[in-house]
Each structure stands twice: as structure tokens, then as C-alpha cells.
Amino acid sequence: MPLPPIVAPQWQAPHDNLTLYSHALHLWWLTLPPDVPREVTLRAYLRRYQPNLGEKPLPRTAGGKPYLDALEFNWSHSGNLAVLAVSGRAAVGVDVEILRPCPQRSAISRRFFGAALQQRILEGSDRSFLQAWTYYEAWLKAQGIGVWQRTAAQPLEHWAVSFPVGDRAIASVVVLTPTPLQCVFFRPEVVG
């Protein structure tokens, strides 16, 4: 598969009315508090969409993806950085990686990617490898499966984009719909 386009997000402060239309995708850039369990942080943001969300642990698919019956979402974290994707239309997967040297990118590429993408990664940079990796993980996560269950992945129609998260990370999001969605990028630390 070709890599998705890289879009330039316009991060904005969240507002009170977070209506999630069927053609929209909300993407959140979060800084994880050091002493707060990740599930507590995730639940706080999901309550913006489902205010009556209780305290029970979120149910998970067989592949480990958390889910709610009336809301399509996924999230990923790397270090203290997290990205939450909430879709108004279809299953969604997201992955984020902090930019870093990837000395094993050739070996990882041979194991997980096709020949054309392997060649592109070998000719490219660590950033291009991390873009490919985040796209791959997001595509699997949208299907509710993990990297080690890759044989169960289906060649489903999907829409995807990659985007920088500040100057220190890259993320990709995949939605299981062929129709492009309107991305709204939220960052709580942005002053509205």
C-alpha cells in the first residue's frame, strides 16, 4: 500500500459543544500526566462524548482494542504523548511514535512490509520509517487486531492520513471508510 498523505494540522482548543458529525474525525493531542493511570486519562476524554460513562474498565476486543458500543475511538501513546481519535462514521485506528533513530528499520521493514515500501524506507529516513510504521499499526488497530495478529488483517477499503504531532512525533490515523473525513485537531494546551 502507498503511504497516506501527510497533512498539516491546525491544533485548536477544545470547545464545549463537541458534536461529532458522521463526516468528522476528532483528533486529540494529549500530554499524559505522570501520576495518572492512562485509562483514567482516556476515560476523562471519552466523557466529552459520553458524559454518563461509568468507572468500569472499558471492554476490549480479542485483539485488546478498547471499545464502547455507541462510539468509535482509538488511542495511542509514546512516552508522555498520546493521540486520541474519535470517529463519527466507522472503526478507527491511530498510532503515534516519538521521532527517534531506528537502527532496526531494515529488519523490521523486511518482516512487516512489502518490497516496494521496504525499498522506499531503505532510501528514506527514520521519519519515513516511522510514518510507515504508524500507518501500519493504525490500519491493524482500526480492524481491532494487533501487530502479532497480522495474518488476520483484511485488505479493507479505508481512508488514512499521517500528521506531525509538534516537532517531536508523527502519527497516522486510519478509518474504515473510503470517503475522506473532515479532521478537527484538538489540543487542550492551546489557549482558545
State how far the Cα of 82 lies from the Cα of 31, in Å rounded to an integer: 6
pLDDT digits (tens, 9 = 90+) for 114-126: 887 788 777 888 9
pTM beyond 0.75, yes or no: yes
Q: How is the chain split into domains, by residue range? A: 24-186
- pLDDT, residue 79, reads 93
Q: How many separate helices (H) and strands (E) can be counted in the chain?
A: 4, 7
